[in-house]
Amino acid sequence: MDDLLGRMTDMDKLRDLLDSKKSEAARMIDEKEMMASLKGWVKGQDHVIDDLTRLIRLQWGKEKRKRPIANLLMLGPTGTGKTELCKAMANYLFEDEKNMLLFDCSEFSGSEGKTRLIGTPTGYVGAESGGQLTRPVLNNPKRLIVFDEIEKAWSGIFDLFLQMMGDGRLTEQGSGRQADFTQSIIVLTSNAEHEAIGKIQNEIDDLQERADAVKKHLRDSKIFRPEMLGRFDRVYVFQPLEGIVIAEIAVLKMIKSAQAYGLELEYVAPELVFDAMSKSDKLKEFGIRELERVIDEMLADGLLAARQIGAEKVKLVLDDEGTLVIEPVDEE
Residue 332's CB: how many other CB atoms inside 10 A? Answer: 3
SS3 165: helix
Query: Average pLDDT, stretch 153-181?
Result: 90
Q: What would the pLDDT profile of 104-116 be if each residue is shown by its tens digit?
A: 998 888 888 888 8
- Report the DSSP pairing between strands 185-190 and 144-148: parallel
Give the integer Cα–Cα distance in Å for 250 and 248. 5
Which secondary structure element, helix H or strand E, spans residue 35, and what is its range? helix 31-41
Residues 6+ apart with CB under 8 A from 286: 78, 79
Q: 245: pLDDT confidence band, cut at 50, 70 and 90?
A: confident
pTM: 0.76
Q: Is the pLDDT of residue 22 over 80?
A: no
In which element (H, E) is residue 327 found?
strand 324-328
Residue (of 67, 42, 65) closest to 53 by Cα position: 42
Q: Looking at the chain, which residues constitute the CATH 3.40.50.300 domain(s)? A: 28-237
The pLDDT value recorded for residue 54 is 95
CATH 1.10.8.60 positions along the chain are 243-328
- For the domain spanning 28-237, the CATH number is 3.40.50.300
Q: What are phi and psi of 30, to 5 degrees?
A: -80, 105
* Class in CATH terms, 243-328: mainly alpha
66 near 167, Cβ under 8 Å? yes
- Answer whether residue 13 shows pLDDT above 90: no
- Measured in whole angstroms, the distance separating CA 99 from the mean position of its chain's CA atoms is 10
The answer to whether residue 141 scores a pLDDT higher than 90 is yes
What pLDDT band is residue 23 in, cutting at 50, 70 and 90? very low
DSSP 295-325: HHHHHHHHHHHHHHTT-SEEEEEE-TTS-EE
8 Å CB contact between 182 and 66: yes
